[in-house]
Structure 1
């Protein structure tokens, strides 16, 4: 595609309210905006005032009855609160989280989809988009019944796209050990079947086809994107049809620049720079974040900390700097190692910039990302709540000393950047919209 197409499109994005999916859509949307298209965000209400300054049209929705007494929320506040309240469940094995976390999360998402369906239909009628893009894990029927083409984005680990020869999504199980796969799937069915049956009936009442088995979201007939580097992908074990397109990374270009403090540039010989982030949601687990900070305080390394939504409760050590939100895509290129919860954005962005990782997963697809990083040799997976300080520091020193890994990561990062997934994704969305305009005449 050219930077300035002959026809201008209206593109509507419907991201899940957390920072990961929304930032993913912001990156693609900004490319389309710069090409002269109108980009509308049907985002959740707490994003008000955060998208318009980037040039997007804010057409916001409520996912539940607004609380007139509530103070002004942070973006994605519903999920920040949800994760904070549910954090004790993350200490359980993944198979036990199916009932205590995964099913309630799906139910909360379904409740939001049902509540906002009339709002979304009104937004679509007002803006009349030429292509609609969803980055979520449940279906919003209005996106499928608008008369314009629908594009699905998977910005979680691509085990979400199920297959017989890959581990079950949410399990964190190894690719080369099938021993627990059947039991995990059986427990998924036991804990989710009733929820799935009810949602499947509702989406059909709204005019959509039936949902695929075990899935709560439809696949597009025209184009589906998933965000994952080729070097981590499962493509050999789970081939996909021609509607699927991998974009190896989708690193937004809207983050502000970040300058390391002088003390980080003039540090002791042998010390490195580490980036620590549990993500916008995982950072709500303040006890875990503080424990990681206290352990890294024992090293000579410098640490940039994404302090999360409870930043005022975090105590940084003298060898650290941080903020509630840091411009991650500008920080990662400047560091030597990333310690992360394994969210898909941070995982793909770290490899995009050629950085090895230590991954301590908390929930959802983070276990799958942690396992994939570990089994492909791009870092280490640690037990999130059972690690010792010595184990964490030992992993840090081991990875920093592994020059072969660092060289390999740098080469892979250069290849990923060359493939330019951000513009590849924007090209596909743009093509779908332009073909739709051409068919309409």
Structure 2
């Protein structure tokens, strides 16, 4: 077997990075060299897993700053803009989505010179990006480029599917045009500017109003077949679906006796708003306080402001938890609808209560609700009894729980992590052979 050099560039948040860690770990076990070009706050976090680290700044470093938590920029960004999440998805296009794209683009532009140097030094056989904006150094390096969509697959638009980031229903196409018109109005100028810069760097023009290319050596996306949109929006042969991508690097998790020892009518529930959503302390504390009134027991991923969240006696929790080892042991998941958590819950056959905050979380929450895999609630406007009632209805629905358990078995059998690693390996081997 030829040893490949695979370079990953994930977006700096935990979701995309964990997605790439899962794939990179499998490639590493196959004997390949795996390099992460990661934002500088990830320094020292990836090398212990066996990866090479090549750090990239996305902005001018602060010489007075100490060591930062991994992904701190986005944690702070989300915490500061949390009031925007109370607005509709259409309103958020100008007040949250546009500034987010601008921040991502600013980072890509700042990183371009350093990233070109890294690529020249590493000389990868294949480069893999998991992000929502292109770093053109990756597509102009001479190595084949693999795109990962680890958001909801509505990130790839089409006329037969609801617009991405809208949270609109598939069976209500009459609601789609106003959102699309507002997207065009708010994002057209930014896209034109970014596309012009991408072309200046030597990369191909981007698709209309899209910030990532489609014409790549391969495209991967993470979403189970049972929830996919391919009937309404077919994808060409460059796309491979990874039904799930459950990393194997999480440590084991033993459920603490405080919640493991519970009455027969008490379920065990996992609560997580993700590494970014957990920064909204007010929302997290409200959820905890409402859930404290129930008979159930809870494992809580408290997020980056863990020390500000007080847990009652029917809960245990930490700032971060080995989620892929927690979910198999619970009966239900309360989630923000991030793509990792949503697909991992389906991978293990668990029903969900979904409280979306931003980005594709609305799309995932809507999809799970319209397919009957979970219940979507209004994140900031739900009544206490809506949350507790949703939990009890899902737990009492034995037919749904049996169907989800069977769905999880099918998803696990399709082994999406291996599927994705196979695609990356194939692309790399073809390039290595041509370079020999």
Is this a same-fold pair by TM over 0.5?
yes
Q: Answer yes or no: is 1:119 the counterpart of 2:108.
A: no
Is 2:5–2:34's contact at 8 Å kept on the other side of the alignment? yes
Matched, 1:359 2:359: no
In structure 2, the partner of 1:39 is 34
Shift in Å, 1:161 = 0.7
> What is the rounded CA distance, in whole Å, between the counterparts of 1:297 and 1:226 in structure 2?
37
Residue 123 of structure 2 is matched in structure 1 by: 128
Q: Does 1:155 align with 2:137?
A: no
Q: Which residue does the alignment assign to 1:141? A: 136
Counterpart mapping for 1:179-218 below 5 A:
179-218=174-213
Hey, what's the Cα distance between the residues in 2 that align with 1:261 and 1:358? 23
2:339 aligned with 1:344, yes or no? yes
Q: What is the aligned counterpart of 2:159 among 158, 164, 178?
A: 164
Q: Report what 2:11 is aligned to.
A: 16
Q: 1:268 and 2:256 equivalent?
A: no
2:355 equivalent to 1:332:
no
Gaps of 5+ in 2: none
Question: Structure 2 CA distance, aligned partners of 1:265 and 1:211?
Answer: 51
Describe how 1:23-422 pairs up with structure 2 within 5 A. 23-422=18-417
Distance (whole Å) between structure 1 residues aligned to residue 238 and residue 286 of structure 2: 44
CA contact (8 A) 2:259 2:316 kept: no
3-state SS in 1 of match to 2:313: coil
Report the 3-state secondary structure (helix = DSSP H, G, I; strand = E; otherwise coil) of the residue aligned with 2:174.
coil
What displacement does 1:241 show?
0.4
Which residue number in structure 2 is paired with residue 3 of structure 1? none
| Secondary structure of 1:14's aligned partner | strand
SS of the aligned residue for 2:56 comes to coil
Distance 2:132 2:258 in 1: 43
Is the Cα contact below 8 Å between 2:147 and 2:216 reproduced in 1? no
SS in structure 1 opposite 2:93? helix
- Displacement, 1:73? 1.1
Return 211-220 or 88-97, whichever deviates more.
Answer: 211-220
Superposed CA deviations along residues 70-104 of structure 1, whole A, max 9, x for unmatched, are 23211000000000000000000000000000000
Report how far residue 263 of structure 1 moved.
2.9
The question of whether the paired residues in 2 share the 8 Å contact of 1:167 and 1:173 is answered with: yes
- Deviation per CA, 1:385-418: give whole Å up to 9, x if none: 0001111000000000000010011000000000
Structure 2 residue matching 1:180: 3-state secondary structure: helix
How much has 1:265 moved relative to structure 2? 2.5
Q: In 1, are the aligned partners of 2:161 and 2:232 still within 8 Å (CA)?
A: yes
Q: Distance in 1 between matches of 2:184 and 2:298?
A: 42
Mapped partners of 1:121, 1:127: distance in 2: 10
SS of residue matched to 1:436: helix
How many residue pairs were aligned?
436
Worse-superposed segment, 193-202 or 217-226: 217-226
CA distance, structure 1, for counterparts of residue 192 and residue 257 of structure 2: 58
SS of alignment partner, residue 59 of structure 1: strand
Q: Deviations over 1:107-160 (max 9, x none)?
A: 000000000001100000111000000000001011000111000000000000
Deviates most, 196-205 or 255-264: 255-264
Distance 1:314 1:173 in 2: 32
Secondary structure, counterpart of 1:60 in structure 2: strand
Give yes or no for contact 1:152–1:220 (8 Å, CA) kept in 2. no
Asked if the contact 1:135/1:152 (under 8 Å) is kept, the reply is yes
Deviations 1:204-223 (A, max 9, x none): 00001111001011124321
Equivalent pair of 2:258/2:316 in contact (CA under 8 Å) = no
SS in 1 for 2:410: helix
Deviation beyond 3 Å, 4+ runs, structure 1: none
Match of 1:433 among 417, 428, 432: 428
Tell me the SS of whatever aligns to 1:308.
coil
Offset from partner CA, 1:14-59 (integer Å, 9 cap, x none) = 0000000000000000000000000000010000010000000000
How far apart in 2 are the matches of 1:19 and 1:264?
27
